[in-house]
Structures are given as structure tokens and as C-alpha cells.
A and B are shown apart, each in its own frame.
Chain A
Amino acid sequence: MSLSGVEQMQPALEALASSRAVPDWLLDLREAGSKAVLRDGLPTRSMESWKYTNLSPLLEGTWEVAEDFASDELPPRTQFPSWMSASSGEVGLLNGVLVSEWTRVPARVRVCTSVQLESSPVRVSSANGFVGSGLSASRVWSPISGTPEKHIAQLSLNAAFMRDLIVIDFEPGTVMREPLVISSFAFGTESLTKWSAVAPRVIVNVPVGCEVAIVEMAAGEGRTVAMPVTHINVAKGSRVSHARFNLTQDSGVQLGYTQIALARDAFCETYQFSLGGRISREDLEIRLNESGSEAVLDGLYLADGRRHVDHSTSVEHVAPHTLSSQLYKGILNDESRAVFNGRVRIHKDAQQVNAAQLNNNLLLSKRAEVDTKPELEIDADDVKASHGATIGQIDPEHVFYLRARAIPEAEAVKMLANGFAQDIAFRIRNEAIRAGAEKIVATKLGGTRAQV
């Protein structure tokens, strides 16, 4: 049996292996990733965690590593919304590589590429090619623990196609409510027989005494397959507001992974806005590693045409007295399809845990489809855990109420869909992120119409 995608990916992996302008430890990491990819291939629907997501479009064409751009030939980034001007700074990536022309960061933030790192920050785990613990003791590092027990395809893929690794360190005690924007632009081939692989890997360290905001913006043009992986480490007592926007064009595919690890009494709110791409799969892993930590993880997905959007969340309550709450909402139109898999695991001895999960879907077309599945694994006995899912259509009584107030039917549907979606934006505690999210969502829903 031939493995899915190996033949298509192999030439690009070989080309990348010969590119050596990175430290040895990165080469090792890439090699481990490459081995895993050649061994396992792309995920297929026979795997439980990929049951509803078909990656066969990625087999239509050979893969290439997305091209390099000289600093004086950078492509225009027209897709990024202007609200980024409300940011505290930007870390700009193009095809997974840091672009200094697009990067400006405040004094309390340090950005390093792999060659700028003093020493190896990584340990290569044989299972995943995972950036793991065992870091050399640089002053701003705190380790991020991996999950070698789980096989995560995006991690291997990212490691295999990684051009560079970017580390962002906040200084301890940084309070910065305007977000630092990490913009990741994928610029790929227009050829219908090719895919351009882009694999940004970013590690963000938020040490003690911080209150910071981070926004990730992903956009792409052309036939790109973006495999962005982000790790965020939140140290004891620190607070992070984080949002990840996927604004990829419909020609692109995104297979992303985000891991956020929280130490004692740390807080994180994280929001995923999956608004673009032909196929979009986002895995989010939250690790509540120490007692008193809390995470809010909400998400919004909007799909139309034949787009496919898949979210897989995994909340690990490792320690007692930890809280998590998640609300994912989606609006599906035309023949689009959404998948939500929400896993909550409460480890043994993680008592006094509270975990809530909800997934609400609004279907604007009879041909749209949603598969939603909660997964609770509870190994402690003194916990509160709840989950729920709804799939519905726009309530005709709501439409009538708006029409009775002179609002035309099409406008009423648009307002109601916007209201359903903005509910997620309204929940964002960080003001700058909330304002930006509201605008992006309203713009995205500007042309909404129901076909029911």
C-alpha cells in the first residue's frame, strides 16, 4: 500500500534537506520530522481524528517548498486588515521566514531566528519531532512540555517543512494590552499541479509578571499548504490574550496547531477565527499544568462554497483547581462542512476542576453539514464538566421581529448571522483584539444570504 502523499511530498523534503543555512539542532529536528512524514504520510480518513476531513486535494500535484524572496522583492500583503495599526508591534513572516522589513517590536520584546539563538532551545522527541523541554538555560526560557503520547500530524509536517524557528520573548513584568501581531503570509504557486508548503514555527515565552496580547494573522495567496505551529508558554501568574485569525484565500489549505501551556495561577484567553481556506484544520491544545490556572478558549468559523473547516481542541487539566471554558460557534452556508471535536481530559488527582464546553452551529443552507463531537475523559472524582452542541437554522420568529421593524428580510438574515457570530467577538476581554475581531467578522459576513 502506498502511503498517502509521500510521493508528492518527497521531492520537496529532499530539496529542503540540502538547505543548510540553519543550526545543526534545527537540521536534526527537520530530519526527525521528515522521517515521520515519510513513515506516516498525510493523515487519512481512516484515522479517528481525521475521520471527517479529507486531505485528498493535497494529493493533486507535487509539493514544493514555498519560494524565498529577496528583501527588495517582497510581495504586497493586501489581505491583512488595517486594524493592525492598533498593535504594539509586528513580527512579519513570509513563507515561514522572518522578514525584517515587516518586523518592528517594542523594547520589551525580543525576537530571534534559529541562527540568532545562543544555543539549542529544543529537544527532538522521536515521536513527533516536537519542540520539547530540556532547553538550555537562557534567561528568558521556560520549558514547554510536549505530549509524546499523542501523534499529531501537523507537528511532524511542520517540523519536516520548517524553514526556520522564531522565538519571541517578552521581558518579565511586561504589561502591554495592545497586541503584538504575528503576521504570517504564505505566497505560493498558481500552478494547478503544485502545492507550496509553508511551515512557520513560533515559540512565544511569556515570563512572570506579564499581561500581554498576541494576535496571529495568517493569510495566503495561491496554492499554499500552510502548516503553522505556535507554542505559547505562560509563566506563573501571567495573563495572555491571544487570537488566531485564518484569512487564507480559498485556494489555500491550512493545517495548524497551537499549544498553550499554563503555569500556576496563569490565565489565558484564546480565540480562533477560521474565516478562510479551502480546507482549514486547527488543533488547539491547552495544558493547565499547575494549580490555579485558567483558560478561556473560544472560536468562530465561517464557511461557504465548498469550504471545509475542522477544529480539534484538547484541554488537559493536569493539575487540580484549574478552569477551562470553551465556546465554538460556526455559520455554514452553501455546501460547506464543519467539524468540531472537543476533547477535555481531567487527569488523575486533578480535583476541583471546572470544565465547560459548548459548540453552536448555524446552518444557512440545507446542503451544509456539521459533525460535532465532545470527548470527556475524567480520571478524577471531584470535578464539574459539561458539554453541549447545537445545530440550528435562523429562527423565523427573529426574522419576523426584525421585519416588523421595517428591516428587509435579506438585511434581517445578515444582522442575525452577524449577531450569532459577533457573540464570540463580544466575549474577548482585550479591547484592541475585540474591536479588530468585530470588524473582521462584520466584513466577512457582509455578503451573507440564507438559502433556507
Chain B
Amino acid sequence: MANLLEITNLHANVDGKPVLKGLNLKVEPGSVHAIMGPNGAGKSTLSKVIAGHPAYEVTEGSMKFEVNFKMKDLLEMEPDERARDGVFMAFQYPVEVPGVSNETFLRTSFNSISKAQGAEEMNEEQFRKFLQKKMELVSMDPKFLDRAVNTGFSGGEKKRNEILQMAVLSPRLAILDETDSGLDIDALRIVADGVNKLKSPDNAVVLITHYQRLLDYIVPDFVHVLADGKIIETGDKSLALKLEEKGYDWLLQ
């Protein structure tokens, strides 16, 4: 099967300092990948580079994404173009945006994608109905719709809001950057349920995580170890259990 995402020999700098140093990753539709690794390995950098954060500079390598059976060069695309083509990153630290209501934000986002795909945009009423179903998926109280995006939300509420956005936008590639960190077990279950319900043979999920715990709820097809800017080991879900037990040292030596 053709790949959804192909990353080849990716090098990237942050503030002029190399963080990714020749990373390779292939993601097929319908698959779940987990990326684990010690602090400072470049996990968050990877997610930001895929999403197109302007502060991260790609110096070498390529990053291709399948759109309508053609591999498009993600590096040539603006972050909002990537999002419109189905790339989604759930932020590790979702940004508080005061003054912009969560509902307006979600609708504008949803309609930007609809417009790009030639689909009809939804009006306020249609969107609210659509949104209600998605909110049930992540057990979110409707009162969060009128509040400003993430403003005054607890850590868990912010993470759930990211999953809600994912549910609304139905991305083809979802990268969850430490979405599990800071969540208690109930919130973790809700987030995992949300992700599991969104899985389909057409889309793929990349979970960036420190903890094996999340993988009890979202079962990965592949587990990768990212260290010093490269993927140094790939295995199935048993690799995560081994890492939990032994740590990373045995791989780094």
C-alpha cells in the first residue's frame, strides 16, 4: 500500500542548533505509530516540523504527504495548507487565545477545510448540531463552546479540546504530541476513546509519548524509539513494554 507520510533523512534546526539528524519514518494509512524517546531526543521538534512551525528550519531531507494519490512536498506548504490537506497536530501545550470563542474558532477552522475541498461551508446552526455529536465523543460540556479558546481551561480540558478539534476536522494524519502527559486516568480514557473512535483504514495516527500507559488504551502497530534526532529502533507494541521496564539506556549504548 502507498504511504500516507514519507519522511526521508530529515534534518532540522531550532535556533540554529541541529535537533533532527537524519530521521526516517513511513506511515501507512490505517496504522497507529508510537514515537517514544528520552527528553530532548527531538520528539516535539518532529511534530512541529510536520505541522510547519516557522521557527523550525529544515536543512536537509524530504517530507512527502499523499494527497489525491500524489505525494506532495510538505516542506513547500504553509502550515494552514498542510492542515487543509489533512495534517493535524494536537499541541503539547495548547495555546490560549483570549477573545476568540471556541465555537467560532472551530467553525472557522472547519469551514476553511470545507472550502479548500470544494465542500459547502456550514452556517452557525448546522455547525452547532454537528459539533454537539463531536462533543459527546470527548465528553465535553457545551459551556466550553462559548468560552475563549483554551482560556482558563485546566490542563485536561485543553487536551480534550485538542481531541475535539481533531474529531471536528477528521484529519488524515493526526500527530498527538504528548497528549497524555498531565492527564489523570479518567481524562486519559476519554482522550483514548476519542482517538479510537476516529481511527479508520484511511487515516493514520502518530502518538508521541513518554509513557507506555497511553498505549494500553490506544494500541500501536509500530513503536519507534527516537534518540538524538534519529529513529534508532522500531518494533511492535512489545517494544513499549520493554522500554517501560528497562528504560532507554540499553538502546543508547
Contacts and interface: CB of A to CB of B under 8 A. Distances in A.
Contacts of A408: 80, 112
Interface residues of A, number: 25
B108 A416 contact: no
Interface in A212-253: none
A423 B97 CA distance: 11
Interface string B78-94: 11100110001101001
Interface of A: 395-398, 400-409, 411-412, 415-416, 418-423, 426
Residues of B in contact with A, size category: 20 to 34
A406 B97 contact: no
B84 A406 contact: yes
A398 B108 CA distance: 15
A407 B148 contact: no
Nearest to B115: A406
Given A396-B54, A401-B91, A419-B148, A407 B98 contact: no
A192 B187 CA distance: 67
Contacts of A406: 80, 83-84, 109, 112-113, 116, 169
B1 interface: no
Nearest to B53: A400
Contact of B105 (A395, A415, A423): A415
Contact of B165 (A400, A405, A421, A422): A405
Contact of B112 (A398, A411, A418, A423): A411
B27 to A, nearest CB: 18
B159 to A, nearest CB: 14
Closest 10 CB pairs of A and B: A419-B99, A406-B83, A419-B100, A405-B109, A401-B95, A403-B79, A406-B112, A403-B80, A423-B99, A406-B84
B83 A404 contact: yes
Contacts of A415: 100, 104-105, 108
A415 B78 CA distance: 18
B208 to A, nearest CB: 15
Interface of B: 51-55, 78-80, 83-84, 88-89, 91, 94-95, 97-100, 104-105, 108-109, 112-113, 116, 148, 165, 169
A398 B95 contact: yes
A402 B54 CA distance: 13
A409 B54 CA distance: 12
A423 B98 contact: yes
B99 A422 contact: yes
Contacts of A422: 99
Q: Max chain B CB contacts within 10 Å: which of A398, A403, A404?
A: A404
Contacts of A402: 97, 105, 109
A406 B52 CA distance: 12
Contacts of A409: 78, 80
25 contacts: A400-B53, A400-B79, A402-B109, A403-B80, A404-B52, A404-B79, A404-B80, A404-B91, A405-B83, A405-B105, A405-B109, A406-B83, A406-B109, A407-B108, A409-B78, A409-B80, A416-B99, A416-B100, A418-B99, A418-B100, A419-B97, A419-B100, A419-B148, A423-B98, A426-B99
A401 B52 contact: no
Contact of A404 (B89, B98, B99, B148): B89
A434 to B, nearest CB: 13
Contacts of B89: 404
Q: Max chain A CB contacts within 10 Å: which of B53, B55, B100?
A: B100
A187 to B, nearest CB: 35
Nearest to A408: B80
A421 B78 contact: no
A407 to B, nearest CB: 5
Contacts of B113: 406
A418 B108 CA distance: 14
A408 B79 CA distance: 9
Given A401-B91, A404-B91, A406-B113, 6 more contacts: A398-B95, A400-B54, A416-B100, A419-B97, A420-B98, A422-B99
B109 A407 contact: yes
A23 B80 CA distance: 66
A411 B108 contact: yes
Given A411-B112, A415-B105, A403 B100 contact: no
Contacts of A401: 91, 94-95, 97
B124 to A, nearest CB: 14
Contacts of B98: 419-420, 423
Contacts of A407: 80, 108-109, 112
A172 B227 CA distance: 75
Contacts of B169: 405-406
B101 to A, nearest CB: 9
Contacts of A396: 54-55
A419 B105 CA distance: 11
A379 to B, nearest CB: 36
Contacts of B51: 404
Contact of B78 (A398, A403, A419, A423): A403
Nearest to B100: A419
Contacts of A416: 97, 99-100
Nearest to A395: B95
A421 to B, nearest CB: 7
A412 B100 CA distance: 10
Contact of A397 (B52, B83, B84, B95): B95
Contacts of B112: 405-408, 411
B97 A398 contact: yes
Contacts of B84: 406
Contacts of B83: 403-406
A407 B80 CA distance: 6
